[in-house]
A and B are shown apart, each in its own frame.
Chain A
Amino acid sequence: MLEPILQTSELSVSAGSKKILNPVSLDIPEGGVFGIIGPSGAGKSTFLKSINRLTELSNGLKVSGQVYHRGDPVYGVGVDTDNLRSRIGMLFQQPVVFPCSILANTLFGVRHLGKVPRKEWNNVAEKALREAALWEEVKDRLKKPGQQLSVGQQQRLCLARTLATGTDVILMDEPTSALDPRSTEAIEGLILDLKETHTIVLVTHNMRQTERVCRTVAFIGLRDKVGTMLATGKLTDLQTKCCEIPELEDYLCCELTEPIPKAKAC
């Protein structure tokens, strides 16, 4: 807890001449859930992807600044990006299930990364599926295609897949926005369990969720049409800052269906 597990320093993103994200300097402490909120198009996903360098895979995005993962620089020559991504996993808004069996999906990363000997694979898969609270539901049909699962189960399968690779940080980009309330509940429960062992960075639009699972929250707003990190702190702290930051006030008012009392007070 002394040293932050992730640290961004002056991290900014642009697409050609268009700025997408103003420099962000942020410490993300080890353990727990770090929330990121902000209006649509503010650059939350872009920020998240730039942490494990997935931005490099979308055309035309240019990142400057630095990220430190456990003190090691993420950007720089000689950094093994593939290894990095296997330690900083990512969960997308829409579950992406490979066209193969549930078991093969769970082991998709493990099998290629070569960190785990082959005879351990089944144990790893079971452990990951248990951690993702999916084991009981799928243990009898591990060989069935993963795409037959419901969307909520698919999202948990993706989580299991990431957990199986032995990540210590999981970046989650609105992991519940494609799900029904039931599955959302399940994922939130999982996040609460996982935060004991993993560091989670969670982008969400759901203020209830933020309140329920996040310890600290960062707000990325659009200032002059460029995403800018405008505030960080506990959610309650942000709500008191409403009056100073107009973007934040706008966002909180629009997003909240049932306003949180303190927001009113402000």
Chain B
Amino acid sequence: MKRKLIHHLFRALTGLCALASCAILAGIVASIVMRGWSALNWDFFTQQIALVGASGGIFYNVIGTLILLATAFVVCTPLALGFSIVHSVYLRDSHWRGKLTLLLYLLNGVPSILFGIVGMVIFVQVLGWGKSWLAGGILLGLMILPTVSVTLIERIGSLPIKYTEAAIGLGLRKSQIIRSVILPQSIGGLITGLMLGLARAAGETAPIMFTATIFAGASIPGGIKESPVLSLPYHIFILAQDSYDPAVKAKLWGSALVLIILVLGLSLVALPARLKIHEEANHA
């Protein structure tokens, strides 16, 4: 009976851990929704920031974040595609493959602030762009490269060999197989990975705060040099440090709510597919 008791105790204990994890998510979302809900209205989305955040809305912040995401998307897609194809097709039987995998792991582990300061040297100073949306987009695109590539690589890896073998049987060349078999079959993996990557990029502050984004006084950028954008995470980051004014606080929670809706929305759409790809690839 002691065994049964231990069994039930341990199950309850681990169950509590699982419950706690879910409760934390619920708690965070609930506390933001509760506090931020009242700030959301039409004006909040359509007006510019005013009175150092105490008034007005977050129109250009949302636009800025979307511009950064679109740039990151454009930058990351070819890199992730190229990298994944080289990794899983051209280097399939080579010892370099493991090294590339490790590189992805490492890149994934690189703290995002390092993207920020290295980017600052290259784009802001050496290239003389000042703060620019393009720099931010490029950095974010590089930062999410591991997220996107790993999903794509897992997807390519779990394609039934019969597809490629059938294609080889038809006498297709490698590049033709890639274009006509591998890419169409794994496009879902690319999209899933991109959505998760962009969800991550949307909330990142560290890589863009020295390179791309300012707190107030920017609208749609007209060029590359000296053309910063506003962004949601940086907006929250700055206001959070100065959050004693109740008017600011309300707007602050509202902005946080908009940000997590954006991020969780993207994740929620992509996650089930991502998990399925992951399980197929690793626990067949």
A and B touch in the complex (CB under 8 A): yes
Interface residues of A (CB under 8 A from B): 80, 82, 112-114
- CB of B3 within 8 Å of the partner chain: yes
**B residues 1-30 in Cβ contact with A at 8 Å:** 2-4
Residues of A within 8 A of B3 (CB): 82, 112-114
Q: How many whole Å from A72's CB to the nearest CB in chain B?
A: 18
In the assembled complex, 6 residue pairs joining A and B whose CB atoms fall closer than 8 Å, in A order, are A80-B4, A82-B3, A112-B3, A113-B3, A114-B2, A114-B3
Residues of B within 8 A of A80 (CB): 4
Q: Which 6 A-B pairs have the closest CB atoms?
A: A114-B3, A112-B3, A114-B2, A82-B3, A80-B4, A113-B3
| Binary flags per residue of B249-267, CB closer than 8 Å to A gives 1, else 0 | 0000000000000000000
Which residue on A lies nearest to B3, using beta carbons?
Answer: A114
Q: How far is the CA of A114 from the CA of B2 in the complex (A)?
A: 10
Number of cross-chain contacts by CB at 8 Å: 6
Q: How far is the CA of A113 from the CA of B4 in the complex (A)?
A: 11
Q: How far is the CA of A59 from the CA of B218 in the complex (A)?
A: 56
Q: How many whole Å from B95's CB to the nearest CB in chain A?
A: 28
Which residue on B lies nearest to A114, using beta carbons?
Answer: B3
| Binary flags per residue of B146-190, CB closer than 8 Å to A gives 1, else 0 | 000000000000000000000000000000000000000000000
Residues of A within 8 A of B4 (CB): 80
Residues of B within 8 A of A113 (CB): 3
Residues of A within 8 A of B2 (CB): 114
Q: How far is the CA of A80 from the CA of B2 in the complex (A)?
A: 13
Q: How many whole Å from A56's CB to the nearest CB in chain B?
A: 15
Q: How far is the CA of A114 from the CA of B6 in the complex (A)?
A: 13
Q: How many whole Å from A53's CB to the nearest CB in chain B?
A: 16
Q: How far is the CA of A82 from the CA of B8 in the complex (A)?
A: 13
Residues of B within 8 A of A114 (CB): 2-3
Q: How far is the CA of A82 from the CA of B2 in the complex (A)?
A: 13
Q: How far is the CA of A113 from the CA of B7 in the complex (A)?
A: 13
Q: How many whole Å from A247's CB to the nearest CB in chain B?
A: 32
Which residue on B lies nearest to A80, using beta carbons?
Answer: B4
Q: How many whole Å from A109's CB to the nearest CB in chain B?
A: 12
Q: How many whole Å from A90's CB to the nearest CB in chain B?
A: 20
Q: How far is the CA of A117 from the CA of B221 in the complex (A)?
A: 79
Q: How far is the CA of A112 from the CA of B3 in the complex (A)?
A: 8
Q: How far is the CA of A82 from the CA of B3 in the complex (A)?
A: 10
Q: How far is the CA of A80 from the CA of B3 in the complex (A)?
A: 12
Which residue on B lies nearest to A113, using beta carbons?
Answer: B3
Q: How many whole Å from A111's CB to the nearest CB in chain B?
A: 12
Q: How many whole Å from B2's CB to the nearest CB in chain A?
A: 7
Q: How far is the CA of A114 from the CA of B3 in the complex (A)?
A: 9
Q: How far is the CA of A80 from the CA of B5 in the complex (A)?
A: 13
Q: How far is the CA of A116 from the CA of B2 in the complex (A)?
A: 15
Residues of B within 8 A of A112 (CB): 3
Q: How far is the CA of A112 from the CA of B7 in the complex (A)?
A: 12
Q: How many whole Å from A80's CB to the nearest CB in chain B?
A: 8
Which residue on B lies nearest to A82, using beta carbons?
Answer: B3
Q: How far is the CA of A45 from the CA of B2 in the complex (A)?
A: 32
Q: How many whole Å from A212's CB to the nearest CB in chain B?
A: 38
Residues of B within 8 A of A82 (CB): 3
| Binary flags per residue of B33-69, CB closer than 8 Å to A gives 1, else 0 | 0000000000000000000000000000000000000
Q: How far is the CA of A131 from the CA of B2 in the complex (A)?
A: 30
Q: How far is the CA of A112 from the CA of B4 in the complex (A)?
A: 12
Which residue on A lies nearest to B2, using beta carbons?
Answer: A114
**B residues 221-255 in Cβ contact with A at 8 Å:** none
Q: How far is the CA of A112 from the CA of B6 in the complex (A)?
A: 12
Q: How many whole Å from A117's CB to the nearest CB in chain B?
A: 14
Q: How far is the CA of A114 from the CA of B5 in the complex (A)?
A: 14
